[in-house]
Amino acid sequence: MVAVVLWGAALLLIHVPRLAGPTIPIALIGAVLLVILRRRRAGLVVLVLLCGAGLAATVAAAQPARDALTAQDGHVVEALVEVSSSASLGSDGRLWFDAQTIAIGPPGHPQRVAGPIRVGVAPIDGADLGAVLRVTGQGKRTDAGERAALVLFGTRAEVTAPASGAFAVAATTRAEFIQRASGLPEPGAGLLPGLAVGDTRAVSEEVSAAMLASGLSHLTAVSGANCAIVVAVVFWLVSLLGGGRALRVALSLLALGAFVVLVTPEPSVVRASVMAALAMLTLLIGRPSAGLAMLSLAVCGLLIADPWLAATPGFALSAAATAALLVLSRPLLRGLGRWMPVPLALALSVPLAAQLVCGPIVALFSETQSVVGVVANLLAAPAAPIATVIGLLACLTSPVPPLADLLAAAAWLPAAWIQTTATVSASLPGATAAVPAGPLAATVVAVISAAATLVLVRPRSRRLRLVAAAVVVIASAASVAGMLLRGPLASMTTPRAWTIAACDIGQGDAVLIRSGSQTALVDTGADPDALTGCLAQTGTDRIDLLVLSHFDLDHVGAATSLAGRVDTVLHGPVAEPADQRILDELAAGGAALRGGAVGTHGLLGSAEWRVVWPPPDSAAFPSGNDASIVVDIAGGGVPRMLMLGDLSAAPQRQLLASGRVGGEYAVVKVAHHGSRDQEPALYAQIAAPAALISVGEDNDYGHPRKETLIMLEAAGSRALRTDRRGLVLLGEQGGRLVVWTERQE
């Protein structure tokens, strides 16, 4: 109770820090009055008030430094920072880590300020826990409630003082282990450092997504299980050697501290280590372990010391999972034991308890829920502790290379099993359920989780059991129906007479064209899952012609997911090695590669297509948006259509002047998601009744722009936006253009 109230108070104070000052005297005065009045059962309230005062004092004390950091918003600054977390490689190519500022200010004149900051720099050696770096870059203030008061986008960084002492030993040991693991084969090599020491830099985006979809991502976040293993092993070894209780506890705590330094003090590690330390202390004084009391004490102490933990999803999930194991696992074991063998029920009760309690928290910030998580955890559970223990031993024995190599090889096998379990389970139809993140989704998931718990534990109230069973049946039926409609029956929800389909794949382009038995796909968008969903919904198994208009991520990011399913690839100019790698992967899957420029043409079923832009070997538009392949297609049941890629106004004017665009069009794919940079005369010339705009909801670019929508209306074109209408289908019936949309605008 105290921990829950304090958590809520922490969330309030870190989001509205000006309340911290007045809260301190109010809480203290209230506590003193209750003690003087000696109200019955006032002890709990007094404890809450005192903890609240301590919490407010922490927030108030930190606020001046945080204000000094947020004052650097938008400025180019020089900062001297001490790394306080492990570093991870972001999608922007920067190395990101948390740090404490020592000084910050204009370049050449930093002032002493000690506060939390998030730093992103170009990959640099030596950014280890405890190292001091000098970083120059642009600051950006964070939202209220964020632990880091400022984000620093570094343009230049240097290590001024490498990690020293225990931090240096830990960094060297961890780096040697990661290097050793990198020499092992995949699957499993990249995952092993994450399982053993929580370092996920070697985990690819595909594996990370699979771990998340299968509900196994917690295995790469060092938490209570890892701390418990370390403490138990040391405790057992000292006991085996004849050490007394005090020595066992002392050495276990020492080993736990060393482990925290080795894996870096992330929120879940801090929570778990504090829990383990409290457990050791209760053992030392001869008191029976009280799990919930220890958890509450750990949470309260950590929130008072660092109130910003309250807004950290990892800390919330860690505490919730621990509470679930303490409270729910045993009742679930009894309930499951009625229907299955006890060993199987024991293995299933632990991940199920964590899933039921953590699901509502995940729904607050994640748009997907793992449906296969319990089964995947059941399959991976036996391998996880083996990979963790042996991997940790391989890390610690780095000074003895032959032994470390042997242990790393032994740990690779369970790591490979876990990664295979993740990738296979995540690839199953309906492995995840899409839910809009937020309080509503969390409430729905909480109701379903509570109902499932009641069904399994069988409360005495028959009415309560019936209501819970009804909720579970309805939720299961809806889930199965959704899986079928998104999977085997997806195409049944789509009219069959379509010949043009604009996929709803977010901010990006993916347009299907079908004539007879052949299908073309123009661009793929960035999200493989969204593209796969569109292909399933339209009943598309194979792509006869894949057009990659240009190599921006929002047009080709999902292209490699089609490897092995494409016959011919028509592509725009190749500018970067990454562009060629995409083509090489498609070619390895059996696709024929063909460069596209003016004059390139062909057949798709009975439809004829031709490329009307870019000119061959254009010096003015060598690559990028303005060199997008523009395709004109018509016939074979396909309404005449012009797809403009991401052309800006200048090449649009040249295209219009070339005379290659003429006659009547039924459909135009608006350039660059409806950006403002358009040529009105081109759209007036086209005068297409339907204007497709492939665009994502709430994009940062403001697409489609209001000026573009007004221009389309003036040209007599009806804007069909995927962000508002979802999947947009077009076809011809009796010589008329017919439009179907997934949603009404």
Q: Which residues pair with 513 in a beta bridge?
A: 500, 520
Interval 113-141 mean pLDDT: 88
Interval 103-113 mean pLDDT: 87
pLDDT at 347: 64
Query: Coil, helix or strand for 657?
Result: helix
Q: Report the sign of the C-alpha dihedral through residues 273, 276, 282, 283, in that order.
A: negative
290-295-300-304 Cα dihedral, nearest 10 degrees:
120
Q: Which residues pair with 733 in a beta bridge?
A: 736
pLDDT at 610: 93
Query: What is the Cα–Cα distance from 609 to 563, expressed in whole angstroms?
Result: 23
pLDDT band at 429 (very low <50, low <70, confident <90, very high): low
pLDDT band at 268 (very low <50, low <70, confident <90, very high): low
Residue 273 identity: S
Interval 316-335 mean pLDDT: 78
The yes-or-no verdict on residue 465 having pLDDT over 80 is: no
> Could you give the percent of the chain with pLDDT greater than 70?
88
The yes-or-no verdict on residue 541 having pLDDT over 60 is: yes
The mean of the pLDDT values for the chain is: 82
Which residue did the predictor score with more confidence, 510 or 335? 510
Interval 677-699 mean pLDDT: 89
Choose the weakest-confidence range: 99-108, 182-191, 479-488. Answer: 479-488
Question: How does pLDDT run across 570-618, given as a tens digit for each residue?
Answer: 998 888 888 888 999 999 989 999 988 898 999 998 999 999 988 887 7
Choose the weakest-confidence range: 147-151, 486-490, 519-523, 555-559. Answer: 486-490
Q: Which residues pair with 79 in a beta bridge?
A: 104, 135
Residue 552 identity: D
Interval 69-74 mean pLDDT: 87
| DSSP character string of 25-42 | HHHHHHHHHHHHHT-TT-
pLDDT at 578: 84
Q: What does the block give as tokens for 708?
A: 């573009």
Query: What is the Cα–Cα distance from 717 to 705, expressed in whole angstroms?
Result: 15
Eight-class DSSP state of 614: S
Same fold, 71-163 and 490-740: no
pLDDT band at 620 (very low <50, low <70, confident <90, very high): low
Question: How does pLDDT run across 381-425, given as a tens digit for each residue?
Answer: 778 778 878 888 888 888 888 888 898 889 888 888 988 888 888
Question: Where do the structural domains in the chain lie, given as residue ranges?
Answer: 2-62, 71-163, 173-328+374-430, 329-371+431-488, 490-740
E strands, 399-555, where? 432-434, 500-502, 511-515, 518-522, 543-548
The yes-or-no verdict on residue 667 having pLDDT over 90 is: yes
Interval 496-508 mean pLDDT: 88
Give buried/exposed letters for 422-454 (b at 16+ CB in 10 A, else e). bbebbebebbbbebeeeeebbeebbebbebbbb
pLDDT band at 29 (very low <50, low <70, confident <90, very high): confident
Query: What is the Cα–Cα distance from 528 to 644, expressed in whole angstroms?
Result: 23
Choose the weakest-confidence range: 25-39, 128-142, 565-579. Answer: 25-39
Q: What does the block give as tokens for 336?
A: 């499951």
pLDDT at 22: 83
Q: What CATH class does 71-163 carry?
A: mainly beta
Interval 731-737 mean pLDDT: 82
Query: What is the Cα–Cα distance from 118 to 586, expressed in whole angstroms?
Result: 38
The yes-or-no verdict on residue 474 having pLDDT over 90 is: no
Give buried/exposed letters for 183-193 (b at 16+ CB in 10 A, else e). ebeebbbbbbb
The yes-or-no verdict on residue 448 having pLDDT over 60 is: yes
Residue 714 identity: A
pLDDT at 317: 76
pLDDT at 493: 57
Interval 677-694 mean pLDDT: 92
pLDDT band at 566 (very low <50, low <70, confident <90, very high): very high
> Could you give the percent of the chain with pLDDT greater than 90?
18
Is 490-740 CATH 3.40.80.10? no
Interval 39-58 mean pLDDT: 78
Which residue did the predictor score with more confidence, 413 or 734? 413
Interval 688-692 mean pLDDT: 93
pLDDT at 280: 63
Q: Which residues pair with 608 in a beta bridge?
A: 603, 634
Which residue did the predictor score with more confidence, 327 or 118? 118
Model confidence, pTM = 0.61
E strands, 244-388, where? 368-370
Query: Coil, helix or strand for 55?
Result: helix
Which residues does 689 contact at the CB level (< 8 Å), separation at least 6?
666, 667, 716, 717, 718, 737
The yes-or-no verdict on residue 44 having pLDDT over 90 is: no
pLDDT at 593: 93
pLDDT band at 287 (very low <50, low <70, confident <90, very high): low
